Amino acid sequence: MHRRASGSPFFRGQVLALLVLVFGSALEAQIAGRISGYVRDPSGAAIAAASVTAVSDEQQLRRAAQTDETGFYNLLAMPAGTYRLTIEAPGFEKQVQSGVLLTSGESLRLDAELKLGQLQTEVTVSSTATLVNTTNQSLSALVDDRRIVDLPLAGRNVVSLARILPGAMDVRAPQEVNNTRDGPNMSVNGGRTVDNNFTFNGANFTSFAQATGQNFPPPDAVQEIRIQTHNFTAEYGHSASAQVAVVSKAGSNQFRGAAWEFLRNEKLNARSFFQPRRPATKQNQAGAAAGGPIRKNRLFAFASYQRL
Protein backbone atom coordinates (compact mmCIF):
# COMPACT_ATOMS: atom_id res chain seq x y z
CA MET A 1 0.00 0.00 0.00
CA HIS A 2 1.02 3.59 -0.51
CA ARG A 3 0.94 6.17 2.25
CA ARG A 4 2.40 9.59 2.77
CA ALA A 5 4.25 10.41 5.97
CA SER A 6 5.52 13.69 7.30
CA GLY A 7 8.43 12.27 9.29
CA SER A 8 11.86 11.08 8.32
CA PRO A 9 12.82 7.43 8.78
CA PHE A 10 13.87 5.26 11.66
CA PHE A 11 16.46 3.11 9.92
CA ARG A 12 19.07 4.10 7.33
CA GLY A 13 20.08 1.63 4.61
CA GLN A 14 18.99 -1.97 4.67
CA VAL A 15 18.28 -3.43 8.07
CA LEU A 16 16.81 -6.77 9.02
CA ALA A 17 14.64 -5.48 11.81
CA LEU A 18 13.42 -8.67 13.45
CA LEU A 19 13.48 -12.42 13.17
CA VAL A 20 11.77 -14.45 15.85
CA LEU A 21 11.48 -18.22 15.86
CA VAL A 22 9.16 -19.65 18.48
CA PHE A 23 9.40 -23.28 19.51
CA GLY A 24 6.10 -24.48 20.91
CA SER A 25 5.80 -23.57 24.55
CA ALA A 26 9.37 -22.25 24.80
CA LEU A 27 8.52 -18.55 24.55
CA GLU A 28 11.08 -17.55 27.11
CA ALA A 29 11.85 -14.19 25.50
CA GLN A 30 8.25 -13.08 25.77
CA ILE A 31 7.27 -14.61 29.15
CA ALA A 32 5.93 -11.68 31.07
CA GLY A 33 2.76 -12.35 33.05
CA ARG A 34 0.60 -14.67 35.07
CA ILE A 35 -3.05 -15.48 35.73
CA SER A 36 -4.16 -16.43 39.23
CA GLY A 37 -7.26 -16.52 41.36
CA TYR A 38 -9.55 -18.55 43.62
CA VAL A 39 -12.06 -21.23 42.69
CA ARG A 40 -15.06 -21.52 45.03
CA ASP A 41 -18.47 -23.15 45.16
CA PRO A 42 -21.78 -21.19 45.44
CA SER A 43 -21.46 -21.09 49.25
CA GLY A 44 -18.04 -19.47 49.02
CA ALA A 45 -16.13 -22.55 50.17
CA ALA A 46 -12.80 -23.29 48.48
CA ILE A 47 -12.64 -26.05 45.88
CA ALA A 48 -9.35 -27.93 46.19
CA ALA A 49 -7.73 -29.92 43.36
CA ALA A 50 -9.77 -28.15 40.67
CA SER A 51 -8.13 -28.25 37.25
CA VAL A 52 -7.41 -24.92 35.57
CA THR A 53 -6.18 -24.90 31.97
CA ALA A 54 -5.32 -21.88 29.81
CA VAL A 55 -4.93 -22.18 26.04
CA SER A 56 -3.82 -19.24 23.89
CA ASP A 57 -5.95 -18.37 20.88
CA GLU A 58 -2.99 -17.49 18.67
CA GLN A 59 -0.62 -20.44 19.14
CA GLN A 60 -2.61 -22.96 21.21
CA LEU A 61 0.03 -22.66 23.93
CA ARG A 62 -1.20 -24.55 27.00
CA ARG A 63 -0.64 -23.91 30.70
CA ALA A 64 -2.26 -25.97 33.45
CA ALA A 65 -2.45 -25.88 37.25
CA GLN A 66 -4.48 -27.25 40.16
CA THR A 67 -5.96 -25.34 43.05
CA ASP A 68 -4.54 -25.86 46.53
CA GLU A 69 -6.50 -26.40 49.75
CA THR A 70 -7.52 -22.74 49.76
CA GLY A 71 -8.83 -22.92 46.20
CA PHE A 72 -5.96 -20.81 44.84
CA TYR A 73 -4.37 -21.44 41.45
CA ASN A 74 -1.40 -19.73 39.82
CA LEU A 75 -0.53 -19.97 36.11
CA LEU A 76 3.05 -18.77 35.65
CA ALA A 77 5.29 -18.17 32.64
CA MET A 78 2.48 -16.79 30.49
CA PRO A 79 3.37 -15.03 27.23
CA ALA A 80 1.23 -12.05 26.32
CA GLY A 81 -1.88 -12.97 24.33
CA THR A 82 -5.56 -13.89 24.46
CA TYR A 83 -6.46 -17.03 26.41
CA ARG A 84 -9.34 -19.42 26.93
CA LEU A 85 -9.55 -20.65 30.53
CA THR A 86 -11.24 -23.94 31.42
CA ILE A 87 -11.99 -24.65 35.09
CA GLU A 88 -13.42 -28.00 36.19
CA ALA A 89 -13.74 -30.16 39.29
CA PRO A 90 -15.56 -33.43 40.09
CA GLY A 91 -19.21 -32.82 40.97
CA PHE A 92 -19.27 -29.31 39.47
CA GLU A 93 -20.17 -27.83 36.12
CA LYS A 94 -17.24 -27.03 33.89
CA GLN A 95 -16.71 -23.29 33.36
CA VAL A 96 -15.05 -21.82 30.30
CA GLN A 97 -13.86 -18.22 30.25
CA SER A 98 -12.97 -16.96 26.77
CA GLY A 99 -11.30 -13.77 25.63
CA VAL A 100 -8.97 -13.37 28.60
CA LEU A 101 -6.41 -10.79 27.46
CA LEU A 102 -3.01 -10.88 29.13
CA THR A 103 -0.52 -8.14 28.32
CA SER A 104 3.21 -8.06 29.05
CA GLY A 105 4.22 -7.50 32.66
CA GLU A 106 0.67 -8.08 33.88
CA SER A 107 -0.69 -10.22 36.73
CA LEU A 108 -4.39 -10.95 36.21
CA ARG A 109 -6.69 -11.94 39.05
CA LEU A 110 -9.50 -14.16 37.74
CA ASP A 111 -11.74 -15.84 40.32
CA ALA A 112 -14.35 -18.45 39.45
CA GLU A 113 -17.49 -19.83 41.08
CA LEU A 114 -18.44 -23.35 40.01
CA LYS A 115 -22.04 -24.51 40.27
CA LEU A 116 -23.01 -27.97 41.41
CA GLY A 117 -23.77 -30.23 38.48
CA GLN A 118 -22.51 -32.89 36.14
CA LEU A 119 -19.16 -32.76 34.39
CA GLN A 120 -20.96 -32.90 31.04
CA THR A 121 -22.52 -29.49 31.75
CA GLU A 122 -20.48 -26.55 30.55
CA VAL A 123 -20.94 -22.87 31.40
CA THR A 124 -19.30 -20.47 28.95
CA VAL A 125 -18.52 -16.92 30.02
CA SER A 126 -17.74 -14.70 27.05
CA SER A 127 -17.70 -11.27 28.69
CA THR A 128 -16.68 -10.04 32.12
CA ALA A 129 -15.94 -6.81 33.91
CA THR A 130 -12.53 -5.26 33.43
CA LEU A 131 -9.87 -7.42 35.03
CA VAL A 132 -7.90 -5.49 37.65
CA ASN A 133 -4.41 -6.24 38.85
CA THR A 134 -4.71 -6.85 42.59
CA THR A 135 -1.61 -8.99 43.03
CA ASN A 136 1.08 -6.29 43.16
CA GLN A 137 1.42 -2.54 43.66
CA SER A 138 3.40 -1.59 40.57
CA LEU A 139 2.14 1.31 38.48
CA SER A 140 2.37 0.96 34.72
CA ALA A 141 0.86 2.11 31.44
CA LEU A 142 0.41 0.19 28.21
CA VAL A 143 0.54 1.16 24.54
CA ASP A 144 -1.18 -1.69 22.68
CA ASP A 145 -0.73 -2.76 19.07
CA ARG A 146 -3.78 -0.83 17.84
CA ARG A 147 -2.42 2.49 19.06
CA ILE A 148 1.07 1.62 17.82
CA VAL A 149 -0.20 1.18 14.25
CA ASP A 150 -3.04 3.73 14.15
CA LEU A 151 -1.55 6.77 15.88
CA PRO A 152 0.50 9.24 13.80
CA LEU A 153 4.17 8.46 14.27
CA ALA A 154 6.69 10.71 12.58
CA GLY A 155 10.02 8.95 12.31
CA ARG A 156 8.65 5.47 13.04
CA ASN A 157 10.33 5.19 16.45
CA VAL A 158 7.86 3.40 18.72
CA VAL A 159 9.33 4.93 21.90
CA SER A 160 7.89 8.31 20.87
CA LEU A 161 4.43 6.93 21.75
CA ALA A 162 5.39 7.27 25.41
CA ARG A 163 4.30 10.89 25.06
CA ILE A 164 0.65 9.82 25.37
CA LEU A 165 1.19 8.18 28.75
CA PRO A 166 0.76 9.99 32.09
CA GLY A 167 3.99 10.98 33.81
CA ALA A 168 6.20 10.73 30.71
CA MET A 169 7.87 14.00 29.70
CA ASP A 170 10.81 15.15 27.59
CA VAL A 171 10.48 12.03 25.43
CA ARG A 172 13.36 11.80 23.00
CA ALA A 173 12.78 9.28 20.24
CA PRO A 174 15.19 10.05 17.38
CA GLN A 175 14.39 8.98 13.86
CA GLU A 176 17.85 7.48 13.50
CA VAL A 177 20.02 5.82 16.15
CA ASN A 178 23.59 5.90 14.89
CA ASN A 179 25.44 5.73 18.21
CA THR A 180 24.78 5.32 21.92
CA ARG A 181 24.20 9.03 22.43
CA ASP A 182 21.34 9.02 19.91
CA GLY A 183 19.22 6.42 21.67
CA PRO A 184 15.71 7.11 22.99
CA ASN A 185 15.16 8.32 26.54
CA MET A 186 12.58 10.18 28.62
CA SER A 187 11.81 11.66 32.01
CA VAL A 188 9.19 9.71 33.94
CA ASN A 189 7.48 11.19 37.01
CA GLY A 190 10.23 13.77 37.32
CA GLY A 191 13.06 11.25 37.15
CA ARG A 192 16.26 11.81 35.21
CA THR A 193 16.36 10.82 31.56
CA VAL A 194 19.36 8.56 32.27
CA ASP A 195 17.50 6.53 34.92
CA ASN A 196 15.38 4.32 32.63
CA ASN A 197 15.90 0.69 31.70
CA PHE A 198 14.89 -0.56 28.23
CA THR A 199 14.19 -4.21 27.38
CA PHE A 200 13.11 -5.98 24.21
CA ASN A 201 11.29 -9.33 24.57
CA GLY A 202 12.69 -9.54 28.10
CA ALA A 203 16.34 -9.04 27.06
CA ASN A 204 18.35 -5.95 27.91
CA PHE A 205 18.13 -3.27 25.24
CA THR A 206 19.87 -0.43 27.07
CA SER A 207 23.19 1.20 26.27
CA PHE A 208 24.62 1.51 29.75
CA ALA A 209 27.37 3.83 28.50
CA GLN A 210 24.82 6.59 27.89
CA ALA A 211 21.73 5.07 29.62
CA THR A 212 19.66 5.24 26.43
CA GLY A 213 17.63 2.71 24.48
CA GLN A 214 18.71 0.87 21.35
CA ASN A 215 17.24 0.69 17.83
CA PHE A 216 13.79 -0.92 18.16
CA PRO A 217 12.00 -2.62 15.24
CA PRO A 218 9.39 -0.68 13.21
CA PRO A 219 5.84 -0.28 14.60
CA ASP A 220 4.36 -3.04 12.41
CA ALA A 221 6.64 -5.55 14.17
CA VAL A 222 5.84 -4.40 17.73
CA GLN A 223 2.96 -5.90 19.74
CA GLU A 224 2.96 -3.59 22.75
CA ILE A 225 4.98 -1.27 24.95
CA ARG A 226 4.62 -1.33 28.73
CA ILE A 227 6.21 1.37 30.89
CA GLN A 228 6.38 0.66 34.62
CA THR A 229 6.77 3.88 36.51
CA HIS A 230 6.64 2.99 40.21
CA ASN A 231 6.93 0.08 42.65
CA PHE A 232 8.09 -2.44 40.06
CA THR A 233 9.03 -5.84 41.42
CA ALA A 234 12.49 -7.22 42.20
CA GLU A 235 12.85 -8.93 38.82
CA TYR A 236 13.53 -5.50 37.32
CA GLY A 237 16.62 -3.43 37.95
CA HIS A 238 19.29 -1.14 36.53
CA SER A 239 17.21 1.99 37.01
CA ALA A 240 15.48 4.20 39.54
CA SER A 241 12.96 5.79 37.19
CA ALA A 242 11.08 3.54 34.75
CA GLN A 243 11.12 0.15 33.05
CA VAL A 244 10.34 0.39 29.32
CA ALA A 245 9.48 -3.06 27.95
CA VAL A 246 8.91 -3.50 24.21
CA VAL A 247 7.39 -6.81 23.04
CA SER A 248 7.53 -7.92 19.41
CA LYS A 249 4.80 -9.64 17.49
CA ALA A 250 5.14 -13.38 17.02
CA GLY A 251 3.97 -15.92 14.50
CA SER A 252 0.71 -17.78 15.03
CA ASN A 253 -1.32 -20.52 13.33
CA GLN A 254 -2.53 -18.01 10.75
CA PHE A 255 -0.41 -16.25 8.15
CA ARG A 256 -0.58 -12.50 8.67
CA GLY A 257 1.44 -9.64 7.30
CA ALA A 258 1.63 -6.01 6.29
CA ALA A 259 3.54 -3.90 3.80
CA TRP A 260 4.13 -0.16 3.79
CA GLU A 261 5.75 2.70 1.95
CA PHE A 262 6.11 6.24 3.29
CA LEU A 263 6.93 8.80 0.64
CA ARG A 264 8.18 12.37 0.94
CA ASN A 265 8.59 14.35 -2.26
CA GLU A 266 8.56 18.06 -3.02
CA LYS A 267 5.97 17.42 -5.74
CA LEU A 268 3.49 16.58 -3.00
CA ASN A 269 4.32 19.65 -0.91
CA ALA A 270 3.11 23.22 -1.08
CA ARG A 271 5.37 26.27 -1.25
CA SER A 272 5.01 28.72 1.59
CA PHE A 273 4.40 32.39 0.86
CA PHE A 274 8.01 33.29 1.69
CA GLN A 275 9.69 30.55 -0.35
CA PRO A 276 10.61 31.22 -3.98
CA ARG A 277 10.49 27.49 -4.70
CA ARG A 278 9.64 24.25 -2.96
CA PRO A 279 12.63 22.73 -1.11
CA ALA A 280 13.86 19.53 -2.69
CA THR A 281 12.77 16.51 -0.63
CA LYS A 282 13.01 12.91 -1.74
CA GLN A 283 12.59 10.11 0.75
CA ASN A 284 11.17 6.61 0.55
CA GLN A 285 10.74 4.34 3.53
CA ALA A 286 9.37 0.93 2.68
CA GLY A 287 9.15 -2.44 4.34
CA ALA A 288 7.08 -5.46 5.24
CA ALA A 289 6.32 -7.67 8.23
CA ALA A 290 4.85 -11.16 8.22
CA GLY A 291 4.46 -14.20 10.42
CA GLY A 292 2.90 -17.64 10.39
CA PRO A 293 3.29 -21.31 11.29
CA ILE A 294 6.16 -23.51 10.25
CA ARG A 295 4.62 -26.44 12.10
CA LYS A 296 1.10 -25.88 13.39
CA ASN A 297 0.86 -25.50 17.17
CA ARG A 298 4.58 -26.16 17.46
CA LEU A 299 6.85 -23.85 15.49
CA PHE A 300 6.25 -20.27 14.35
CA ALA A 301 8.20 -17.52 12.64
CA PHE A 302 7.90 -13.75 12.36
CA ALA A 303 10.12 -11.32 10.50
CA SER A 304 10.18 -7.71 9.41
CA TYR A 305 12.27 -5.71 6.95
CA GLN A 306 12.54 -1.97 6.46
CA ARG A 307 14.62 0.13 4.09
CA LEU A 308 15.27 3.83 3.65
Q: What is the 3-state secondary structure (H, E, C) of 187-229?
A: EECCCCCCCEEEEECCEECEECCCCEECCCCCHHHEEEEEEEE
Residues 148, 283: one domain?
yes
Within a domain: 130: no
Residue 308, domain extent: 1-27+136-308
Within a domain: 149: yes
The pLDDT score that the predictor gives to residue 56 is: 94
Residues 47, 120: one domain?
yes
Q: What is the CATH number of the domain that holds 36?
A: 2.60.40.1120
Residues 80, 15: one domain?
no
CA distance 126 to 62: 19
The pLDDT score that the predictor gives to residue 1 is: 37
Last residue of a domain, one of 70, 93, 125: 125
Give the pLDDT mean for 276-285: 88
Residues 107, 149: one domain?
no
Residues 160, 214: one domain?
yes
Residues 100, 145: one domain?
no
* pTM, to two decimals: 0.78
CA distance 149 to 156: 10
Give the pLDDT mean for 90-97: 92
Whether the CA torsion 262, 265, 267, 268 is positive or negative: it is positive
Note the pLDDT tens digit of each residue in 178-237. Answer: 776 778 999 998 989 989 999 999 888 988 777 888 888 999 999 999 998 888 777 777
Residues 104, 149: one domain?
no
Within a domain: 182: yes
Residues 257, 219: one domain?
yes
The more confidently predicted of residues 83 and 32 is: 83
Within a domain: 84: yes
Last residue of a domain, one of 74, 104, 125: 125
CA distance 198 to 214: 8
The pLDDT score that the predictor gives to residue 128 is: 54
Note the pLDDT tens digit of each residue in 1-36. Answer: 334 333 333 333 334 444 444 433 334 434 568 999
Note the pLDDT tens digit of each residue in 231-270. Answer: 877 777 778 889 999 999 999 999 999 999 989 898 888 8
Note the pLDDT tens digit of each residue in 165-178. Answer: 888 999 998 877 77
Note the pLDDT tens digit of each residue in 29-79. Answer: 345 689 999 999 999 999 999 999 999 999 999 999 999 999 999 998 888
The pLDDT score that the predictor gives to residue 126 is: 67
Quote the number of domains for the chain: 2
Within a domain: 131: no
The more confidently predicted of residues 15 and 110 is: 110
The pLDDT score that the predictor gives to residue 131 is: 56
Q: What is the CATH number of the domain that holds 159?
A: 2.170.130.10
Residues 165, 307: one domain?
yes
Residue type, 255: F
Last residue of a domain, one of 99, 125, 151: 125
Cα→Cα distances 284→18, 107, 148, 271, 304, Å: 20, 42, 21, 21, 17
Residues 295, 162: one domain?
yes
Residues 157, 239: one domain?
yes
